Structure 1
Amino acid sequence: MAEPPLLAIRSLPSWLLGRAAARGRALVAEALAAEDLRMWHHVVLSAVHDLAPVAQADLGRGIGLDPKDLVGILNDLQAAGLVRREPDPGDRRKNAVSLTPEGERLLTRCERAARAANDTLLAPLSAAERDQFTDLLIRISGTDG
């Protein structure tokens, strides 16, 4: 019997992680789409929640997003009434970004949806395996979680 194609590649941890990450992104993107939100919009809302009020430049650096892309996302979020940009009290030449009450409500719904999507992704694992898997991912990703 012939060996399945790409067996050597498909057994690599990097390949498997990539496939799992793609599935996870797709599940989260689908969950966020139900709230009429895209992935980067969710990232920006979450970062603004954690850092607000935050200078627009600091926000972009904090999430690793190109300033031009960030402006477009903030324009979308502001037009939807989810964030506000006001002069930064520390430096009036800069904009400080914060969430509106509607932005807070949407972020709460999106966080629930993203957690549910991740629960679907990790459904084959026990609770202990999920914790171990997450700990291992943190270790190999070089992040602190």
Structure 2
Amino acid sequence: MEHLPSWLLTQTAAHAGRLVTERFAEVGARGYHYRLLETLLGGPASQAELGRRTGIHLSDMVAVLNELTADGYVERSPDPADKRRNVVTITDRGRERAAELAARAEAIQDELLTPLTAAERAELVRLLSLLRKGAAPA
């Protein structure tokens, strides 16, 4: 099996997923929290737009936003242009949390990629980016 790139990718993705889950859980966070907060650093967005930008399914989006709102990291308000939609905005507290989670995400990358040199890490990212572009729907 170890000669099959698909198997290697699957095993590595599972390991990476475990690291992300465990390391973010140590500070009471989830990967979704980091993805949403980082996205909101670029400015307010509707829930639907956040789903598109982050790849978080809309059925999960409400639960994640409820968690972030309860912790004071984001605020939801009606969209002035369309009262049926909510606009989500990051708070000052959310900006601090985003910085904390960004540092943690960087540490996770270092832990995951420990066996690789800096040049190998850059090459891996380049190759994975090519694969991801090739897998994107047309």
> Is 1:48 aligned to residue 40 of structure 2?
yes
Assess if the C-alpha contact under 8 Å between 1:28 and 1:113 holds in 2: no
Tell me, which stretches of 5 or more residues in structure 2 are unaligned?
none
Counterpart of 1:24, as a letter, is: A
2:94 and 2:100 mapped to 1: Cα distance? 10
Aligned length: 134
Aligned residues of 2:77 and 2:87 also touching (Cα < 8 A): yes
Q: Which amino acid aligns with 1:25?
A: G
**Superposition deviation, residue 21 in structure 1:** 1.3
Counterpart of 1:33 in structure 2 is: 25
**Residue 20 of structure 1: CA displacement?**
1.2
Q: How far apart, in 1, do the equivalents of 2:65 and 2:24 lie?
A: 17
Rg: which structure is higher? 1
Q: Is the 8 A contact 1:27 1:118 kept in 2?
A: no
TM-score (norm 1): 0.84
Q: 2:11 aligns with which of 6, 11, 19?
A: 19
Q: Provide, for residues 79-127 of structure 1, a one-character-per-residue CA deviation record: whole Å limited to 9, x for no partner.
A: 1111000122332331100111111111111111111111111111111
User: Which aligned segments of 4 or more residues in structure 1 are displaced greater than 4 angstroms?
Assistant: none
Partner of 1:77: 68
1:119 equivalent to 2:110? Answer yes
Return the offset for 1:132. Answer: 0.8
Instruction: Using structure 2 for the length normalisation, give the TM-score.
Output: 0.88
Kindly state the Cα deviation for residue 38 of structure 1 after the two structures are TM-superposed: 1.2
